[in-house]
Structure 1
């Protein structure tokens, strides 16, 4: 029946920490290790000592459909790991672990300084400062080294020595390890400060107990307890919403925890272990060329890989339902499909899918897409890899390869993989292989529309179509102005090829041409670093003249040969020699439209378009810099 799948109850802090100690509360294995620094721990202790709220925690009752491998709270005794937990902590790990470590665990705490140095600390409350309302409570919380003697940066003792109980009593420094059980410490304190002369000091501790320690004893933490019927997707969504200060939870972490419950180490598959390379590294090294750090697949994420596997699994389920006459579930690679992915399906398809990604890298190189930086859509790599994994060597046949290339460019120039691509990924996985055998065009090919005037607004690498034009020019035979070499992978990496202005920015600014015009892809083309240095900021007529005459490190080039190199970029050489910028822009736009039409296998749209809003002009250098950051 309808109703809430959770309860909200305040629970005593001590009870929660004791349940952590006994193993009744544990962590799902996807939770990261405890990492709070000593300043944050001090702040947490200070808040509890004043009975200030520190936020709710969230737990999930065990025994339901979400079967995560549990992991004890850090620092708990070995026995805690041998207990079947009653609940798993989804949010609040850092707070509960910190409080457990500094209090009832009773041992030195391993933490980090604000400078990220690993240290071992004991935590104390300065009784005098804690009772002084004019002192910030956080200043009353003190962390001391493992031997309980404070030292200067040069290692010399600074005066605070808490290495014995008597020294704690004398300094009026209360150990946080005793906040829930202070009687024995108080007995020692009273004995140390016995006598009529020290009555005020003994009373000071009693005030401290009433105003500070009892806040720990009676502190209650709001607990949102999800019952065991909560679905996997709900757990994922809830965790993302509440865990804003911790590690973002993705489907991979959840699937990792669920597979771990069956004894499989998914994280080891992906990240590797010891000398064994994980799948992440293997994919990153596929077709890694030159001195580049990684290949074209370095951006493939663990969820991308699981998404491709889930396409095969959900297709199997659909086919089985169709064979039995049942309602067929959709083929999907969305988050729910990943969360429902069983271990046996993952094991069945993992190797096949990995081979598909390797083939995808080869396919992209054939299209002259060599770097992640130049990859039009990372999201389109998933269906590409899944399709290639499905059809095997059939993609190497000329007719099939031509169709795959057309589908790929339709996705790029139709700008169809920019956002919310999950439905399209699944549809392409089903429709593209069928197209190779039946001739029925996939929806992506049908849907793709490229507007002729779009070329004028493509000014930065964050545009997939911008990257697509660059790759197409190289694929269709563009040659470097200076060397005359085509841009295969050897030249691309060896000559540091990138996309550069044809009419240089400096010349355009001097001739009062707006950035919105001269920064468009129409005025750009792939060139080597050395060639671009020769071009400089001069008019095309001047730099072409320099290329003809040659330089100290570049031989002269026959004009006819140079014109041939220039024309390979879909440029009319005469327009450059005569510096006819506006005629050049119109001519190049027409030629690029033809290039895109050939790639998509359809005419571009030249009619009127009504767009909501206005184009935002972004400085090209700023945009390129942002694109670089996005690519890293």
Structure 2
């Protein structure tokens, strides 16, 4: 039965690896502490399941790292063990007892490739507070071990420090910590280690990350935790000596275990012998604690080993043992299947890399754009990667498109079906189909994201009203001729807005998107418009987007979140100017907002971030003792999307104390272009004497509603001029 240390050694030598279909590391600090406290009290940590095979069988990763291992061709046939179950536990333990950041020159590169929840350093605190049990025998330097304790007695002594890449570099535990001597020269080598050990002992924290020493490490160097323990023991001995002198401690009781003759030495005032006894007390405590800590990773791990002839069943085995609660999702399985093709590398890494690249934007996409047009664009600005992981939306729609392109376009089926975006079809994909279609799927998918941001005002992918609408767009944009053709792109945008605002996708979304793949192609290529019957439902669909719903006058229906966000996105798609003073113009472009572009106004520099702005502010209708925060969650007419628009945080700070009539006078007419405000706003946003407040708000919101309807329909007519509505 291997020990924890054995597993770490094998992992360091690429002999125990994670197959690429393993999930990301997800445990939070509470789960990590729970496991570690069990290990400290020598309770079983649970077993692992490993599969014997060769490195060429699956793309693989090292414990704690999301980046695929780079295996030289000559090593790909070497035997290894794939870890099928136990990743979260082994990764937790390895990140606790290993120092990933020991190379000071390259720690940032290591940091970039670690899972976010493992960018840490762990410590055990040996000095108890007044309310805690003295589990390390700190008070009298008499350590009895922790194996008779409950994990709850240990858990609060475990401390974790986050390692940030650019902040807190002045903390002693940070790998970027670089103190200087009195001459201003940075400390290095043993001087630096000694300085850090002093800082750690001052905080009574023993580093755990120096306990595991990899086979390749320098054995003659004393580990940091041992240096800290020695300094702590020396410090505590000095304190105990002071307590003996003050009559608070009995020297015989303290030193008898390490020196049976201490009574005689004390009576004879033998200072050398007493001094040696104190040294022995410190050394024994340090030795016992150090031995206990080091032997923590000598604990055996219950292991089930599957023979190499089970390699074809690895995915099924993994699913079986993880069916509740962490079964493989479809994407994990497709990644695993793709890994059978050793030449292609990791599918997840390929997708990850493609999402970071920049693509050239076609003139077809940019034709309607005013101002400075982005010539290149990266999908990463849209949130396709979350915490450096491929987002769920990307994973799901990648699989759907992969299935569609594999089953539909190759002639195996004569009709596209809903089944093509269901698990059964996903899992029927062969590694050859995955290999052959991945490039075209990624190209189509990334182009659809560019279209959605540049043409449709979608700042972040997570704010997309209906993510299945990606499929018809991507299917159309796989074709280079469509991607570069302004008139064809216009028809896609026509379909998008008419579908969003008419409520076509509020029900039966799977069925709608599958049908729309074909119908949108028919519109683009043949001009056949199967969507024109929805034209009159634009912002006029009962229970969804009608005027009564948008004004909170339909008691039975809330405003759908898809409608709320789509109205804001439509405004952004029109490239409105920000609410800035006369003479200052700033386009609110979705792509600039997404990457928080650096801008300057009136000599003030700021990052372009937008806020959801209430045109008529909520504070105008708050009651005494009521906050606007409370009002934001109510079905009040001023919370209608008809009273909202995106403006920059900078502009919002300048007008926050002004009424609409005042701040709309403060900004120029051109600055409110494409925000669909009733004009002339000096007149329209002034309350009439005969109007009640409710009548005033309802009037201006109805006026803005009418402008929205007219504006959207005018644009639909321009995007598809031969629609014959």
1:489 paired residue among 572, 589, 594:
589
Matched, 1:311 2:401: yes
**Runs of 5+ unmatched residues, structure 1:** 1-11, 103-107, 162-166, 182-215, 273-277, 548-553, 602-632
Q: Offset of 1:20 from its aligned partner?
A: 10
The equivalent position to 1:433 in structure 2, one of 508, 512, 521, is: 521
What is the match of residue 454 of structure 1? 549
User: SS state of the match for residue 521, structure 2?
Assistant: helix
Report the equivalent of 1:466: 564
Where do residues 148-547 of structure 1 align in structure 2 (5 Å cutoff)? Answer: 150-152=226-228, 158=234, 232=315, 235=318, 239=322, 241-243=324-326, 251-263=330-342, 264-265=344-345, 266-272=347-353, 278-282=354-358, 298-301=382-385, 302=390, 307-308=397-398, 311=401, 314-318=404-408, 320=410, 322=412, 332-334=420-422, 337-357=425-445, 359-360=447-448, 363-364=451-452, 367=455, 369=457, 371-372=459-460, 375-377=463-465, 379-380=467-468, 382-383=470-471, 385-394=473-482, 397=485, 400-413=488-501, 424-438=512-526, 439=528, 441=530, 449=541, 450-452=544-546, 453-456=548-551, 463-473=561-571, 482-483=581-582, 487=587, 489=589, 494=599, 496=608, 499-509=612-622, 516-527=636-647, 532=652, 535-544=655-664, 546-547=665-666
Q: Cα–Cα, structure 1 residues 466 and 261, in superposed 2: closer, same or farther, change >3 Å? A: same
Does the C-alpha gap of structure 1 residues 429 and 589 become closer, same or farther in structure 2, counting only changes over 3 Å? same
Distance 1:28 1:537, change over 3 A: same
Aligned-partner Cα distance in 2 for 1:466–1:377: 9
- Conserved 8 A contact 1:28-1:70: yes
**TM-align CA RMSD:** 6.4
Residues 1:509 and 1:461: Cα distance change in structure 2 (over 3 Å):
same
TM-fit CA distance, 1:158: 3.7
Question: Structure 1 129/591 Cα, relative in aligned 2: closer, same or farther at 3 Å?
Answer: same
**Farther off after superposition, 414-423 or 590-599:** 414-423
Q: Are the aligned partners of 2:20 and 2:61 in contact in 1 as well (CA < 8 Å)?
A: yes
Which of residues 664, 671, 685 in structure 2 aligns to 1:576?
685
Separation (CA, whole Å) in 2 of partners of 1:566 and 1:386? 28
Question: Residues 543 and 468 from structure 1, CA distance in 2 versus in 1: closer, same or farther, beyond 3 angstroms?
Answer: same
Instruction: Please report how far the alpha carbon of residue 155 of structure 1 lies from its aligned counterpart in structure 2 after TM superposition.
Output: 5.5
Q: What is the SS of the residue equivalent to 1:577?
A: coil
Give the TM-score normalised by the residue count of structure 1.
0.58
CA contact (8 A) 1:68 1:260 kept: yes
Q: Displacement, 1:405?
A: 1.6
Are the equivalent residues in 2 in contact too, given 1:57–1:92 (CA < 8 A)?
A: yes
Partner residue in 1 for 2:19: 28
The number of aligned residues is 514
- What is the rounded CA distance, in whole Å, between the counterparts of 1:444 and 1:236 in structure 2? 46
Q: How far apart, CA to CA, are the structure 2 residues paired with 1:134 and 1:309?
A: 46
Runs of 5+ consecutive residues of structure 2 not aligned to the other structure: 65-71, 103-116, 125-134, 137-141, 159-205, 212-221, 238-282, 367-371, 602-607, 689-695, 718-725
Measured at CA, do residues 71 and 314 of structure 1 come closer, stay the same or move farther in structure 2, by a change above 3 Å? Answer: same
Residues 570-591 of structure 1: CA distance to partner in whole angstroms, max 9, x if unpaired? 4564331345333223333344
- Distance in 2 between residues matched to 1:299 and 1:101, nearest whole Å: 28
Partner of 2:263: none
Cα gap change, 1:385 to 1:591, in 2 (>3 Å): closer
| 1:45 and 2:39 are equivalent in the alignment | yes
Q: Residues 40 and 147 of structure 2 are in contact (CA less than 8 Å); yes or no, is this contact kept in structure 1? A: no
Q: Distance in 2 between matches of 1:567 and 1:25?
A: 58
Quickly say closer, same or farther: Cα 1:61–1:138, change in 2 above 3 A.
same
